[in-house]
Structure 1
């Protein structure tokens, strides 16, 4: 009976765990709006009110792309009207309450893939921990402003702040230095991160090979120790 109760308790514990977190956001301002669906911290889809369609930012290797049913975009447009009406009511009620500003708590720049000179890659500028949304991200190459980057819509964090990611397609070449500069209401000046292509190409190849060698050395030493042990035992028996 005790074993049965223990088994049932374990089943209940497992079933209580959250496997996935789904989120849907309706947001608006006087000049902009947002409708976004997310799963486990990733965007599934969002409404582009300029293109007048739903956008599905899924990686190209997805075999069966996911899409919501027809009418999802139209419903997002209708929700924007409701959002703006509610926004006006809340602004009138909170007009004397100062707006809270939180500067980004983390700004990092890195590449999507391992760097190979002359091979196309993607630079990523990851900005998180800010409020309110959004941030503005600009890029430079060798101190010259460049265009062509993209940025996702603000994604809400569990603590009420936001995360945004800007991406820039580039081809690593020796001597090039890139930067992403982040602007936000809570920052008195842009927060900038640099990416040196040459330094990245000469960096440590990573912990993978070192870890592999370390494990191999450990296994080899254990094998020697085990062989010595059995050799001694064999001599004792003889």
Structure 2
């Protein structure tokens, strides 16, 4: 993803109270050459406009019932982008351009989507948060070799005005493999890197855990029987 500074962001948050409290968010953002239109609910991304593919993208997991916004949503996003860029030009003239404000990511985390099983397909997730402006660029390596085919969502607005993004990489765990996600941002002089190493401890012997618990349970059971027998005998003696 080419690094671009999004200079103007407008967001709208609507809280609706029914059985529970929900937060519905829509984000418009633009620079001189790029833009963003995103819809979210309760901190999750529902849809965003891809101005390169010229369509709305719905990055929902397969277990969610599919849905789409009404016809014309993408066209409305294009119109909003043009308005945003015009407003950007007006505001830049009035403010004599914007003062630079760059915040480095406050946290970078790498973890797997599912429990690790050697030889079974899984997903590595690199989560970046606390940066401004958007976006970040995330690249992956496996055993120091560049890996392609990863994906990254559009920037999502945090409550403090910073952003977060998540990159995902499909992988098959093999013992000893070392994965790295490198995060680039305008505020950084060098990438922030997090490492995930596939270790033997990531896949324990399935017989070890049950054996330990069964052993402990049997021991506690025998102790309980002994204590119960002791008090039963004492009770009989007293009567």
TM-score (norm 1): 0.79
Distance 2:127 2:231 in 1: 55
Question: Residues 136 and 223 of structure 1: is their aligned pair in 2 closer, same or farther, counting only changes over 3 Å?
Answer: same
1:147 aligns with 2:152: no
Aligned pair partner of 2:56 in 49, 54, 57: 54
Aligned counterparts, 1:1-238, within 5 A? 19-62=21-64, 64-95=65-96, 97-198=98-199, 201=202, 227=228, 231=232, 235=236, 238=239
Distance 1:76 1:50 in 2: 13
User: What do you get for the CA RMSD once the two structures are aligned?
Assistant: 3.3
Which of the two has greater strand per residue?
A: 2
State the number of aligned residues. 221
Flag the structure with more relative contact order, 1 or 2, with Cα contacts below 8 A and sequence separation at least 6: 2
Q: Aligned to 1:20, what secondary structure does the other structure show?
A: strand
Answer yes or no: is the 8 Å Cα contact 1:121–1:171 preserved in 2. yes
Structure 1: which 5+ residue stretches go unaligned? 1-14
**1:11 is matched with which residue?**
none
Which of the two has greater helix per residue?
A: 1
Offset of residue 164 of structure 1: 0.2
Question: Residues 200 and 151 of structure 1: is their aligned pair in 2 closer, same or farther, counting only changes over 3 Å?
Answer: farther
Structure 2: which 5+ residue stretches go unaligned? 1-16
